[in-house]
């Protein structure tokens, strides 16, 4: 006879496991399987219980293979129990048999918890900064046994099971242990290896079985349309970027040349059969291209796992997982390492503002509004039909802050461009009266989102001083790029959306009308140094019927190219870091689509190849000449020379930096060729023409100043140079001293 687990007395098989427990296990509604299954002390001895569907006989063994007892079948569905001969609680295994053969299963319910009380403490406090090493699926060796530890936050669930191709997606088999203080469920599954698909089967608070959920902390995912998470190991990468990281950690990024090439990895180029390039294939093509073009950084549209190609990655369901579209996570690590070896930084377009409502994602994760607000006035985004993170919940903030730290640490990313910051800052963003909930003071500021952004920036910069965080923020919210201790949001930089809007509006007008809109080009200098700005000509400007940049320009084809060349010269000479979306460097005519590769064949035509050469030379000039970048974010690096020549639509200014030769930037935004045009300059002498967007090599008319102009004192005692202004062109002149 065997000891009863309930009373400690001896009895028959029915006393080895209560009928209610048996039914609950078989009906997938047992809320605490660790209290029943596994090895337990009972009546002065020990009882083992297991659920092994298909088994006819089961023998319990130690991990070394020593028999410790034959178990009795207490239910023909595969539930076994019996007294075992052990002296202490320890991991055990089962040798199961049926007519088809024999197999061995190590009992996951005989292992203790992996997470500890300090994890609980920091998780409850919301200050755990290593969640990406604790939650999700991680390979580990426990009591000498290799397997995977799974952990997931689902505080309102009645049961959580790990299901996958290793257990036939049967939620009855691997139900998890609840850590009641934190609402985290965990289990160690022996024998699980890298490459298994898995999800969480969650029973909600009312006993309903939810749609299977992908792991919020999954570090690898299946290729769409499949959407399970994948077991994977630590990033296997030998990093060779110490010099690159050390440079940026020691540098003041505001005073460094930063020229960003914005890329959609799925459509920059494609294979001949139309498939995506792998990370290794991208590395072999994109990195040399950016080196040749002189860009300092590559910024990828979101590459965190997402289900729908036309979302471009902005509706992510796997914030910790590089999308499977381009291969395994190690491929992305190799790409970043390759960039760093040649001095190129990598920036990730990061989306902490909202998430999609796909059934396998975060929405109502445990049957309740867990990651999002319950109230749709706070938790649903009307523009994108997405859910908004609940920034007032400590666990949600920890999830997002840990994600920022994860990408910086595990993939050595150089920066995060944070998407849709304006939608986070304002409670009434894109909402009508009565459709939003005021903050505690009655205002429209989302104070919880502000605290999140400040905390995220503080933690990221503290842990990774060389990183860049860049806000896509389109309003006049103050101090976006000011330090948190000074009342700012703590970003390193902010996109200058006003520059983009005003200048493109100006250039869409026929030159004859531009004199009436002169301040479109001068207004930006009123606020140019209120933030650390990046000047963006991004993907947003070449989609949804907006046309490409070349198509936006006014005039016939020649004028369109001349306008765009002049505009690029104007922008690269303007204070602020630079960002250009792929394809615009060679003046792609078509509006961008994620479904097709860029029109690289256009480089066979001189005007398009000329545009590419111009952008390459602008990058080179910008990087070589400290006067053009070292004071991008400071007013003492800029001085107007000509701000009010409306009639001729001419602009001129001086870029300067301490100890550097100044550079004059002069732009003529009309197709009129002007000779003997006077430009005031600060110093007498020879000023070399270091760049002319009208040069023949760029597809221009070849008008210019023979390589230099002479600045002299005029009759009124001022210093000026008489120069030739090519039509629709920008000149850069450097003092030749």
Indicate if 502 belongs to the active site: no
Residues, the chain:
737
DSSP-derived secondary structure letter, 584:
G
Helix (H, G, I), strand (E, B) or coil at 63: coil
Q: What does each C-alpha distance from 156 to 120, 178, 206, 614, 733 come to in angstroms?
A: 17, 11, 10, 59, 67
Longest dimension (CA), the chain: 118
Number of C-beta neighbours around residue 576 at 10 A: 25
Strand order in the sheet with 663-668: 638-645, 650-655, 663-668, 729-735, 685-692, 708-713, 719-725, 674-680
The answer to whether 481 and 527 have CB atoms below 8 angstroms apart is no
From 21, 472, 473, 585, the catalytic residue: 472
Torsion of CA 10, 16, 21, 25, to 10 degrees: 180
Q: Which two tokens stand for residue 595?
A: 């479904």
The answer to whether 426 and 473 have CB atoms below 8 angstroms apart is no
E strand segments, 154-218: 159-164, 177-179, 184-190, 197-203
The answer to whether 675 and 727 have CB atoms below 8 angstroms apart is no
User: Which is it for strands 101-106 and 354-355: parallel, antiparallel or unpaired?
Assistant: unpaired
From 419, 448, 531, 617, the catalytic residue: 419
First to last CA, the chain: 103
Gyration radius of the chain over CA positions? 32
Indicate if 419 belongs to the active site: yes
Containing H/E element for 733?
A: strand 729-735
How far apart are alpha carbons 271 and 430 in whole angstroms?
40
Chain centre distance of CA 494: 16
Number of C-beta neighbours around residue 560 at 10 A: 21
How far apart are alpha carbons 684 and 721 in whole angstroms?
9
For residue 532, give the nearest of 457, 584, 449, 459 by alpha carbon: 457
How far apart are alpha carbons 718 and 681 in whole angstroms?
9
Q: Which two tokens stand for residue 692?
A: 């002319």
User: Residue 719, exposed/middle/buried by CB under 10 A (0-12, 13-18, 19+)?
Assistant: middle
Bridge partners (DSSP) listed for residue 276: 270
Angle at 217 between CA 451 and CA 376, to 5 degrees: 50
Residues designated as active site: 419, 472
């Amino acid at each position: 006879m065997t000891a009863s687990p309930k009373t400690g007395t001896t009895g028959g098989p029915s006393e080895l496991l209560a009928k209610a427990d048996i039914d609950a296990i078989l009906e997938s509604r047992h809320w605490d399987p660790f209290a029943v299954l596994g090895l337990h002390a009972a009546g002065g001895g020990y009882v083992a219980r297991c659920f092994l569907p298909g088994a006819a006989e089961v023998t319990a063994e130690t991990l070394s293979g020593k028999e410790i007892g034959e178990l009795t079948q207490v239910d023909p569905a595969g539930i076994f129990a019996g007294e075992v001969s052990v002296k202490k609680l320890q991991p055990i295994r089962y040798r199961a048999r049926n007519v088809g053969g024999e197999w061995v299963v190590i009992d996951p319910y005989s292992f203790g918890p992996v997470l500890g009380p300090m994890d609980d403490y920091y998780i409850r406090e919301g200050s755990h900064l290593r969640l990406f090493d604790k939650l999700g699926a991680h390979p580990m060796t426990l009591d000498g046994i290799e397997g995977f530890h799974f952990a997931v936050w689902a505080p309102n669930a009645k049961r959580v099971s790990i299901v996958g191709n290793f257990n036939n997606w049967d939620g009855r088999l691997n139900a998890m242990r609840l850590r009641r203080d934190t609402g985290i469920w965990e289990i160690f599954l022996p024998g699980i290896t890298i490459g298994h698909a898995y999800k969480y089967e969650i029973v909600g608070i009312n006993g309903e079985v939810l749609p299977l959920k992908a792991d919020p902390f999954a570090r690898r995912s299946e290729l769409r349309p499949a959407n399970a998470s994948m077991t994977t190991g630590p990033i296997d990468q030998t990093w060779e970027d110490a010099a690159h990281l050390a440079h940026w950690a020691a540098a003041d990024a505001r005073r460094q040349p930063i020229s960003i090439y914005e890329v959609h990895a799925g459509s920059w180029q494609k294979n001949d059969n139309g498939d995506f390039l792998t990370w290794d294939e991208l590395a072999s093509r994109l990195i040399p291209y950016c080196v040749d073009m002189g860009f300092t950084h590559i910024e990828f549209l979101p590459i965190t796992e997402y289900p729908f190609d036309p979302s471009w990655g902005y509706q992510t369901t796997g914030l910790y997982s590089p999308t499977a579209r381009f291969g395994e996570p190690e491929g992305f690590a190799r790409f970043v390492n390759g960039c760093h070896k040649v001095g190129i930084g990598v920036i990730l377009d990061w989306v902490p503002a909202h998430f999609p409502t796909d059934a396998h994602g975060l929405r109502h994760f445990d049957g309740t509004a867990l990651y999002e607000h319950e109230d749709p006035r706070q938790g649903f985004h009307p523009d994108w039909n997405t859910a908004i993170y609940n920034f007032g919940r400590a666990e949600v903030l920890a999830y997002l802050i840990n994600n920022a730290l994860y990408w910086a640490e595990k993939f050595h990313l150089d920066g995060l461009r944070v998407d849709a910051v304006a939608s986070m800052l304002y409670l009434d963003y894109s909402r009508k009266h009565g459709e939003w909930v005021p903050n505690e003071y009655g205002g429209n500021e989302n104070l919880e989102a502000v605290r999140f952004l400040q905390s995220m920036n503080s933690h990221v910069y503290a842990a990774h001083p060389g990183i860049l965080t860049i806000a896509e923020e389109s309003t006049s919210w103050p101090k976006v790029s000011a330090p948190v201790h000074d009342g700012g949001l703590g970003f390193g930089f902010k996109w200058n959306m006003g520059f983009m809007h005003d200048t493109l509006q100006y250039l869409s007008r026929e030159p004859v009308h531009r004199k009436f809109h002169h301040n479109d080009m001068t207004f930006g200098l009123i606020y140019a140094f209120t933030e650390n700005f990046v000047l963006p000509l991004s993907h947003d400007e070449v989609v949804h019927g907006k046309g490409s940049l070349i198509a936006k320009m006014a005039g016939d084809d020649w004028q369109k190219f001349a306008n765009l060349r002049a505009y690029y010269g104007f922008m690269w000479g303007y204070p602020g870091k630079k960002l250009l979306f792929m394809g615009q460097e060679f003046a792609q005519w078509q509006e961008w689509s994620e479904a097709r590769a860029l029109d690289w064949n256009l480089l066979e035509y001189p005007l398009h190849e000329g545009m590419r050469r111009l952008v390459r030379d602008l990058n080179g000039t910008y990087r070589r000449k400290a006067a053009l970048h070292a004071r991008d974010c400071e007013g003492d690096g800029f001085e107007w020379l000509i701000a009010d020549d409306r009639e001729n639509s001419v602009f001129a200014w001086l870029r300067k930096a301490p100890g550097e030769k100044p550079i004059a930037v002069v732009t003529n935004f009309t197709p009129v060729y002007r000779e003997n045009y006077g430009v005031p300059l600060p110093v007498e002498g020879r000023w070399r023409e270091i760049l002319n967007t009208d040069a023949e090599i760029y597809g221009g008319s070849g008008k210019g100043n023979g390589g230099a102009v002479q600045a002299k004192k005029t009759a009124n005692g001022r210093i000026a140079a008489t120069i030739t202004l090519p039509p629709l062109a920008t000149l850069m002149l450097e003092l030749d001293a």
